[in-house]
Amino acid sequence: MSAPAYLPFARPTLDDATIQGVAAVLRSGWIASGPQVAAFERALSEYFGGRPVRTLTSATAAIEVALQVCGVGPGDEVITSAQSFFTAPNMIIKVGAKPVFVDCDLATRNIDLAQTAAAITPATRAILPTHFAGLPVDMDGLYRLAREHRLRVIEDAALAIGSSWRGRRIGAFGDLVAFSFHPNKNMTAIEGGALVLNNADEAKLTEKLRFHGISRLADGTRDVDVAGGKFNLPDVNACVGLAQLARLDEFTAARRALAEHYFRSFHTDPPCVLPARGHPGDEAGHSWNMFAPLLPLGRMRITRRQFIDAMHARGIGIGISYEALHLSTLARRFGYHEGNFPNAERIARETITLPLFPTMTFADVERVCTAAAEIIAQSRL
């Protein structure tokens, strides 16, 4: 009997129609930003209730531009979670500001708003939370805090397109919201991102910041009045994004069904700490970009690396989401060290990301659960 096919922890869903659409764009000769980008931005704006949306080359670029739109720079502080991807602190530092980390909740993995409130100083300009794995932050609490202190909010929604808070789509309300279309996200544009904005002025500024700071003058010449970068999305990517957006609800429904099957099927001895299903009374808001339990390493004879290797040997891909940001070499320069944020550090030590993508089957989920249970049982102290 042949070995089962390798099961990665993430895989994009690309159909023949999308591939044919890309070929048509390539044949058109217009492959940089053009009509497909304009159409994608219109479709995203409609999806987010008519708010202005501008595409960029990544969510990282979107967050950098969002910080610039908010006027964040040297001497400013931005509060963010110690448990997320490296994008947030990297971009805060890149624009010259200081990242101020706070801990996360152990179950939701989202930013601790009580610690956020305590971290606010006269230098604080913005809060930059991540909707971890697609589970929204407590939006009521977040924006109540921001209004009280007159702070901007830049939502890192890289993992959260398709998520909602009390029936309202993430991105359809709030302040600035950044999305990712990387291949391991809930929808892809090969690479790419988008920034949801508040008004036409912010959209115009974003257009300049994503393309060299250029403004076109009435006589056909150009001027630059702000230092911009080069973050414009190609039409090829936008073509893929349009096709993916049309199927996003389908993808999200599949992810939610697979996550529920993980909850039914994932039982280990000793037990793992499973992710939160959602907020009480609002479980349907989670779009499930990832399913990331915590290993019971204190009751196992093997390390996480050895567990991952054992899963790989069974043809199952495993990721790590995420490292503790305050312990990176870059962040330590700001005086952070071990012990600052216990929940973020525990997650960083124990987390694994299990396979989860729309074309998986329930049998695939059961295969993952069986393999993990056997490896953990064999290594039990």
CA dihedral sign, ordered 266, 298, 331, 344: positive
Q: In 3D, which of 162, 160, 163, 166 has the Cα closest to residue 62?
A: 160
- Residues annotated as catalytic are 185
Residues paired with residue 78 on neighbouring β-strands, in sequence order = 99, 126
Number of H helices, E strands in the chain: 13, 11
Q: How far apart are CA 236 and CA 233, in angstroms?
A: 8
Q: How far apart are CA 121 and CA 113, in angstroms?
A: 15
In this structure, the number of other CB atoms found within 10 A of the CB of residue 308 comes to 19
- CA triplet 290, 261, 190: central angle to 5 degrees? 35
Q: How far apart are CA 190 and CA 184, in angstroms?
A: 10
Q: How far apart are CA 142 and CA 130, in angstroms?
A: 11
Count of positions (residues) in the chain: 381
Distances (CA, A) of 125 to 58, 71, 79, 120, 171: 23, 9, 8, 9, 21
Q: In 3D, which of 59, 50, 57, 56 has the Cα closest to residue 178?
A: 59
Three-state secondary structure call for residue 310? helix
